[in-house]
């Protein structure tokens, strides 16, 4: 079973992003707002994905398949009213962990979130973030992309 173990934080201060990889991302949700499982379409630059994410906060099931642009375009209209656009910067922290920093666009701007994935749940729990990370929002459902796509940025 594919499991995602990650923590999510607000960004207190933007770090130097010169050594990161940038992607323009748009994603939309095919599942209903009250469904605990997420079914998501994502365009990341010129690649397209269909992703299923299970319920949970720090640990949850994740399955992803790359799809064609035509398949993406077939289902994209069904995500109307449940979409997020962002720029994603992927880089490596001094301790070796990979981070993904999202700078949200459109109605969610100027929100910035950073995520770090882990091999183990104990590694995630014991993680000490760098100074540029802000408040830990891993367990705050308002900061899930699906919820923000539907409800907008948290207050």
CA distance 72 to 63: 16
Q: What is the pLDDT of residues 99-144, one digit of tens each?
A: 999 999 999 999 999 999 999 999 999 999 999 999 999 999 999 9
Look over the chain and give the mean of its residue pLDDT values, rounded to a whole number. Answer: 93
Q: Which two tokens stand for residue 3?
A: 């499991």
Residues labelled as active-site residues:
29
Long-range contacts from 31-38, C-beta under 8 angstroms, 24+ separation: 31/146, 33/82, 33/146, 33/147, 33/150, 38/146
Q: Which two tokens stand for residue 105?
A: 């666009």
pTM for this model (two decimals): 0.91
Q: Which two tokens stand for residue 110?
A: 């100027």
Q: What pLDDT, on the 0 to 100 scale, is given for residue 4?
A: 87
Q: Which two tokens stand for residue 154?
A: 């948290």
Could you tell me if 143 and 155 are in contact, meaning their C-beta atoms sit under 8 angstroms apart? no
CA distance 133 to 10: 6
Q: Which two tokens stand for residue 137?
A: 């929002």
Give strand ranges (E) for the chain.
Answer: 3-11, 21-29, 38-44, 47-53, 59-67, 83-92, 98-104, 112-117, 133-136
- Kindly indicate the confidence band of residue 37, based on its pLDDT and cuts at 50, 70 and 90: confident
Find the domain containing 85 and state its range.
Answer: 3-151
Q: What is the pLDDT of residues 49-70, one digit of tens each?
A: 999 988 777 888 889 999 999 9
Which CATH number goes with the domain that contains 90? 2.40.320.10
Task: Please give the tally of structural domains in the chain.
Answer: 1
């Amino acid at each position: 079973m594919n499991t995602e173990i990650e923590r999510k934080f607000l960004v207190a201060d933007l770090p130097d992003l010169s050594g990161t990889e940038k992607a323009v991302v748009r994603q939309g949700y095919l599942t209903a707002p009250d469904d605990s499982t997420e079914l998501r379409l994502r365009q990341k630059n010129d690649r397209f994905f269909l992703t299923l994410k299970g319920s949970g906060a720090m640990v949850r099931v994740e399955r992803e398949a790359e799809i064609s642009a035509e398949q993406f375009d077939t289902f994209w209209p069904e995500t109307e009213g449940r979409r997020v656009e962002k720029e994603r910067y992927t880089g490596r922290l001094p301790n070796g962990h990979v981070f993904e920093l999202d700078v949200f666009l459109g109605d969610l701007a100027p929100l910035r979130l950073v995520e770090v994935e882990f091999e183990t749940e104990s590694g995630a729990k014991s993680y000490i973030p760098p100074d540029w990370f802000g408040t830990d929002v891993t367990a705050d459902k308002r900061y899930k992309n699906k919820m923000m796509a539907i409800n907008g940025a948290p207050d």
